[in-house]
Structure 1
Amino acid sequence: MKKVNGHEIITLFEQWSPKRFAEDWDPIGLHIGQLNRPVEKVLVTLDVNEMVIDEAIEAGVNLIIAHHPPIFRPMKHIWTDTPQGRLIEKCIKHDISVYAAHTNLDVAPGGVNDLLVDKLNLKEVQVMAPSISDPLYKLAVFCPVEHAENLRTVLAHAGAGALGDYVGCSFSSIGIGRFTPAEGANPFIGQVGKEEAVSEERIEVVLPGPMRSIVVKAMLAAHPYEEPAYDFFMLDQRTEEFGLGRVGKLDKEMSLEEFARYVKSAFDVPAVRVVGNFNKSVRKVAILGGSGSKYIRDAKRTGADVFVTGDMDFHSAQDAELLDLGIVDPGHHVEKVMIEGVAKKMEDLCAEKGYEITFIRSVVDTEPFRFIM
């Protein structure tokens, strides 16, 4: 097992939940401390408050991965006699770094919204409000025929050639490559100053734009030539769409009242707020973790019968009524599903890399609301 530092952990995390998925206004990333030091224990939490920091200190944690950024608005001063200043001071004194993944974790496949979908057991799931899709590129690289099979394998392992449910997709054609090694060259084939003609294979693979550097690095490392010939072409096709929220279908139709009780049970909350006729039929469900009042029209546009989201305000609820869109509000705190989801995902990713690291699930209840039934 390999000991790691914070940079290695966060680099792995951002391959799953990249910063480019975040909204422009969202202050994600490293908030407190540094990543350039060894990490043995990581605490995963929804929120960062002083009780969570005390939990991290007691457990000997070096790094906290949180969903909600602890410094959401810019600070002009850090006064350690204020609650927020005291929190920052305590982290620094105990060498605890804090990293926040917010809307990027909402958007990421397998992130917050997909974890919420799993709780409701929705089927035929799609993105509710698409915001990101990357261009696809084609890499064409030339190499000696006898080395082509190995190079195709390397490209596939680097992630190139994945199309839908298929991996390792490529196309090859055979031709003659001609070159003359100049003075100072160290040719794999041929001699300096002498023209060479080699039977070469042109290998073509498709890959998403964000993977270009990874694939090129793998290709250059595996290619026998010191100066490989290759081209990149941007294609009209784009990758799958990413975005906020999800929409899917229930196994069976139920009334809005039945569905609201189902949500209450699935998310283990003491109560839910409901907008709409209790007898309304519900089959198609839109869901967005956190505050979703700005997205009621996106939910309606998908054909959803009901929208599950938190922090619904009065006037947005009235708008939803006018749209005949049911609302079930289980609160913002249901995003706590990310604690187990992120910890499990990172354990799997780190195991693949052979990293020696422990992920701890926070058990501090950070829900600020209490209910009198």
Structure 2
Amino acid sequence: MVTIARIAKVFDELYPPHLAESWDAVGLVCGDPSTDVRKVYFCVDVVADTVDEALTWGADLVVAHHPLLLRGVTAIPTTTPKGRTLHRLIRAGAGLFVAHTNADSASPGVSDALAARLDLRDLRPLRPVPKQPIYGIGRIGTLPTPLRLARLAELAAAALPATPGGIRYTGDPDRLVRTVAVSGGAGDSYLGDATQAGVDAFLTADLRHHPASEHSEAGGPALLDAAHWATEQPWLEQAAAALTERLAPATVEVLVSDLVTDPWTRAVVPARSSS
């Protein structure tokens, strides 16, 4: 049988814990390492809906991207959402494993899966890890064929999981794009890296008003802003496939969640006057 300990070892090899940021909380959150695992459920967020899906399916282990317990706590009563979630997993005998910023910087990692959705080639890290240049946050790649910015935005919207907010972009719609930087999750900390790399466009999530405005005013790469969840969900398929390959000839059943856990559930676009 495959145990939680064996799966944790595989993920530590795929997504080395030392790559995690100092503030992060990765690894095994709950569960007995000796527990046998038949079913592994993958999700971005550990929330009520994904836990419902995981436990209804009979998952023995939940693998998540976002930590459930990122900051220190002194109690986890069921009167809090996170406490309820953790107690439900424990009562069901299901473990929880998290790969977060270590999966962001790993190779392949979160941004490789995002880059693959755009069919980017010749990938390299956007912000390499010092002294370990194969690792790093984000990816830079080249499109198979140069595209106008408006067309790239359309392709990105079609390639990524759909969310109510879609994809916003800034810049000349007719701008020709050859090189693209991508970063799964919140990416405005890497606007300077994208500019320094000289890419034509940067696709990420959670871009804030002032950093994006100042970046555009300075003539930086065109920006495409997608939902946070949508830029990270493609990694789940990659992680599930990697686990299956590493465990062979042993097998586990995997389920990759496509539940949209982006917190924004509706968007309203005002109708334009025809006059």
TM surpasses 0.5: yes
Q: Which residue does 2:156 correspond to in 1?
A: 263
2:244 corresponds to 1:347? yes
Determine helix, strand or coil for the equivalent of 1:48: coil
Give the aligned residue type for 2:190.
Y
Which residue number corresponds to residue 170 of structure 2?
275
Q: 2:193 aligns with which of 298, 301, 311?
A: 298
Structure 1 residue 132, shift from structure 2 partner: 4.2
Equivalent AA in structure 2 for residue 58 of structure 1: T
Residue among 176, 180, 183 paired with 1:288 = 183
Deviation at 1:277, TM superposition (A): 2.4
Matched, 1:329 2:222: no
Number of residue pairs matched? Answer: 264
SS in 2 for 1:287: strand
Query: In 2, distance between residues paired with 1:6 and 1:133?
Result: 32
State the SS of the aligned residue for 1:99.
strand
Q: How does 1:198-277 map to 2 (within 5 A)?
A: 240-269=133-162, 270=164, 271-277=166-172
Cα displacement string for residues 105-156 of structure 1 (whole angstroms, at most 9, x for unaligned residues): 111122211111111011121111011435xxxxxxxxxxxxxxxxxxxxxx
Give me the whole-angstrom Cα distance separating, in 2, the residues matched to 1:124 and 1:319. Answer: 29
Aligned 1:1-373 pairs, distance under 5 A:
3-134=1-132, 240-269=133-162, 270=164, 271-324=166-219, 325-334=221-230, 335-351=232-248, 354-369=249-264, 370-373=266-269
Give the Cα separation in 2 of the matches to 1:57 and 1:265.
31
Gaps of 5+ in 2: 270-275
- Residue ranges of structure 1 left out of the alignment (5+ in a row): 135-239
Q: What CA distance in whole angstroms lies between the structure 1 residues aligned with 2:241 and 2:268? A: 34
More divergent stretch after superposition (18-27 vs 265-274) = 265-274
Report the alpha carbon displacement of residue 319 of structure 1 after superposing the two structures with TM: 2.1
The structural deviation recorded for 1:288 is 0.3
Which has the larger displacement, 94-103 or 74-83?
74-83
Aligned residue for 2:144, secondary structure, equals strand
Distance in 2 (alpha carbons) for counterparts of 1:272 and 1:363: 18
SS of the residue 2:204 aligns to: strand
Change (3 A) 1:83 1:15: same
Distance change >3 Å, CA 336–CA 350, structure 1 → 2: same
Measured on the aligned residues, the alpha-carbon RMSD in Å equals 1.6
Residue matched to 1:157: none
Aligned mates of 1:242, 1:337 — CA distance in 2: 19
Q: Deviations over 1:318-364 (max 9, x none)?
A: 1221332210011111211122111111111111xx22322222243
Q: Which residue of 2 aligns with 1:181?
A: none
Q: Provide the C-alpha distance between the structure 2 equivalents of 1:73 and 1:46, rounded to a whole number of angstroms.
A: 18
Tell me the TM-score normalised to structure 1 length: 0.68
Deviations 1:30-72 (Å, cap 9, x if unpaired)? 2223323221211111111112112222222111110111112
Which residue is equivalent to 2:272?
none
Structure 1 residue 268: deviation in Å?
A: 4.0
Whether the 8 Å CA contact 2:227–2:262 is kept in 1: the answer is no
Q: 1:132 to 1:61 in 2, by over 3 A?
A: farther
SS at match of 1:241: strand
| 8 Å contact kept, 1:132–1:241 | no
Deviations 1:234-282 (A, max 9, x none): xxxxxx5310000011122222222211211121435211122223221
Contact 1:300 1:323 in 2 (8 A): no
Flag as ranges the 4+ runs of structure 1 deviating above 6 A.
Answer: none
Cα distance in 1, alignment partners of residues 154 and 259 from structure 2: 26
CA distance in 1, matches of 2:131, 2:114: 22
1:34 and 1:133 map into 2 onto residues whose CA distance is 35
Alpha-carbon contact 1:320-1:327 (below 8 Å) kept: no
Q: What is the TM-score when the length of structure 2 is the normalising length?
A: 0.91
The structure that has the greater radius of gyration is: 1
Larger CA deviation: 67-76 vs 272-281: 272-281
How far apart, in 2, do the equivalents of 1:316 and 1:36 lie?
47
Summarize the Cα distance change of 1:52–1:115 in structure 2 as closer, same or farther, 3 Å threshold.
Answer: same
One-letter amino acid of the counterpart of residue 298, structure 1? D
Matched residues in 1 for 2:161 and 2:7: separation?
31
Q: C-alpha separation between the residues in 1 aligned to 2:258 and 2:156? A: 22
Matched-pair identity in %: 32
Any idea what SS the aligned residue of 1:342 has?
helix
In the TM superposition, residue 6 of structure 1 has moved relative to its aligned partner by 0.6
